[in-house]
Structure 1
Amino acid sequence: MTKYARRPSVLAGLIGQDIQGSRSPEMHMQEGEAQDLRYVYRLIDLTRLGVGVEALPDLVTAAERTGFTGLNITHPCKQLVIQHLDELSDDAKALGAVNTVLFKDGKRIGHNTDWSGFAEPFRRQMADVARDRVVQIGAGGAGAAVAHATMVLGVKELTLFDIDPARAARVADNLNAHFGAGRARAGADLPASVAAADGIINATPIGMDGHPGMPLPEELLRQDLWVAEVIYFPLETELLRRARALGCRTIDGGGMAVFQAVAAFRLFTGKEPNSDRMIAHFASMGS
């Protein structure tokens, strides 16, 4: 038997829409190679397949039956996938969103590594920014996780906006139930909320390669705002480009991409990833 045949194998993938720019395959497979694993990571792109979210249950079943170790889940499937799972981790339950599914012992177990993925790089790069009032745009799957992270990071008052106001209200209610009444609310007046804010977070897909544009009017930006982005393809979104031109302090979505992958790698392999090595590899892939 060859050494190659003896290496433990992992088969993982990412289900989502417009994900051809994802760096997840390279990040996972490069770290797998460094840890002497046969690691294969596939993109399962709804757009490339020409299907909508109605295909999600069939795709999850197909992955399970063909021997996948697990799946990452991204927009627009992080909440929809829950009804097709057997168990949820405590974080996934609290957030009502799943970005990692582990196939284990005949069960589909949903996890959420997005919130820690946002929190860790923010702690490293933005530890000194004011966090009294923060505006977050987007309250979907990623948005729920990022909002959870803002509470852990000590944001005193979070105002949430979403294309679906009821969804923003549900996320705010959930945060208040977990972290204390009054810390989160659904917003009604974006210009007024941004004017009073220390920072803004974009947790929508607006700015991705497949969803170009800005999540808020450019004239609402000002120099003393900090701006955080969850999108990482492209790494410099239109929002970040315009914010940096004004002199805003910014953080891109690259750190979240790396640290959610660090946690997903740990779940898929049972091995401890080298986060510094994964950061370096992500950076080496360019912008």
Structure 2
Amino acid sequence: MSASSSYLVGLIGSGIGGSLSPAMHEEEARRLGLSYVYRRIDLEGLKLDTSALPDLLLAAERMGFNGLNITYPCKQSVIPLLHELSDDARALGAVNTVLLKDGRRIGHNTDWSGFARAFRRGLPDVSLEHVVQLGAGGAGAAVAHAAMTMGAREFTLFDVDAARASALADELQKRFPASTVKAGGSLPDAMAAATGLIHATPTGMAKLPGLPLPAQLLHKDLWVADVVYFPIRTALLQAAEAVGCRTLTGGGMAVYQAVDAFRLFTGLEPDAERMFMHFQSLLSR
């Protein structure tokens, strides 16, 4: 089998035992007739933290990996270890896909395009007049960029790290001068005026259960989009549905970022709809 039809890729992150990326990539590759192995490199399981990234990238290069997906908590700390960045990754200051090619490491971000595609599919006609977002980390930077690209008019960011929220708000305001972007303030006031809520923190994941904000701040005139997909119906989405909100699970973003990453790794066009259906079947198991 020629080198171009066999691929070795991986996912670096912490607590990624439940990730469906390996199964999605490998199944689509099988359908396209490729030999494709996708390995999890779980910092938690290896008892490592982000300080191990230089060693892990070097090891992946030496073992002939074609590329890596990067997830929490490495999307920002991986950047200084790369040789070049795509325009999107540079603008976002976050990387979720690294191509390893000819001794070079090239960082990309398919989170933002994945979220935008999922949003247009699941909430095609909602108002982006006043959007509140919780979370300004790597995933937060990507989905905020997506929301602004789709036309959010007023955008308010909250994060446990106020400085991080301010820095991202300033960055977005420079990139999208026609909109109003701010950080912090009163969450109840922001939520009362909001037409939509984007949740981009790890709260609600299987290992971090709970709600990222008081349920009483949700109201029926709100749409709610979550980036967490494990579990697919988070406590936040259940609370939102209970008060009559339209909701978007993190599943679409998980699929479409994988579609875009697969294209980068292989140079081939995957069948996005087929990957979406496969993802749904994996969740129902």
TM-score, length-scaled by structure 2: 0.97
Matches within 5 A, 1:69-108: 69-108=66-105
How far off its partner does 1:168 sit?
A: 0.8
Cα deviation, residue 52, structure 1: 1.5
Percent identity over the alignment is 62
SS in 2 for 1:285: helix
CA gap 1:7/1:116 in 2 versus in 1, 3 angstroms:
closer
Give the Cα separation in 1 of the matches to 2:85 and 2:259: 19
Shift of 1:17: 1.0
After TM superposition, the structure 1 = structure 2 runs for residues 51-62 of structure 1, keeping only pairs within 5 Å, are: 51-62=48-59
- Once the two structures are superposed, the pairs formed by residues 1-287 of structure 1 within 5 Å of their partners are 8-180=5-177, 182-287=179-284
Unaligned stretches of 5+ residues in structure 2: none
Task: For 2:227 and 2:53, locate their aligned partners in 1 and report how far apart those are by CA, in whole Å.
Answer: 23
Change (3 A) 1:240 1:105: same
Amino acid at match of 2:191: V
Q: How far 1:181 sits from its partner (Å)?
A: 5.6
Distance 1:151 1:286 in 2: 30
Deviations 1:221-246 (A, max 9, x none): 11221100001111111111111122
1:180 to partner: Cα distance: 0.7
User: What amino acid maps onto 1:102 in structure 2?
Assistant: L
Aligned length: 284
Structure-2 separation of matches of 1:98 and 1:253: 18
Q: 1: distance between equivalents of 2:114 and 2:169?
A: 20
How far apart in 2 are the matches of 1:216 and 1:102? 37
| Structure 1: gaps of 5 or more residues | none
- Between the aligned partners of 1:6 and 1:230, the Cα distance in structure 2 is 35
Instruction: Tell me the SS of whatever aligns to 2:51.
Output: helix
- Counterpart Cα distance in 2 of 1:85 and 1:98: 10
C-alpha distance in 2 between matches for 1:125 and 1:237: 17
| Alignment deviations for residues 33-87 of structure 1 (CA, whole Å, 9 cap, x no partner) | 0111101001111111111121122111111111110000011110000011110
- Single out whichever of 239-248 and 71-80 deviates more from structure 2: 239-248
- CA–CA separation in structure 2 for the residues paired with 1:205 and 1:268: 27
Q: CA RMSD for the aligned pairs? A: 1.3
Secondary structure at 1:148 match in 2: helix
Matches of 1:91 and 1:47 in 2, distance apart? 28
Is this contact kept in 2: 1:7–1:36, CA < 8 A?
A: no
Question: Distance in 1 between the 2:228 and 2:3 partners?
Answer: 38
CA–CA distance in structure 2, aligned partners of residues 7 and 108 of structure 1: 18
User: TM-score scaled by structure 1?
Assistant: 0.96
Q: Contact between 2:152 and 2:179, CA under 8 Å: does it hold in 1?
A: no
**2:4 and 2:65 mapped to 1: Cα distance?**
16
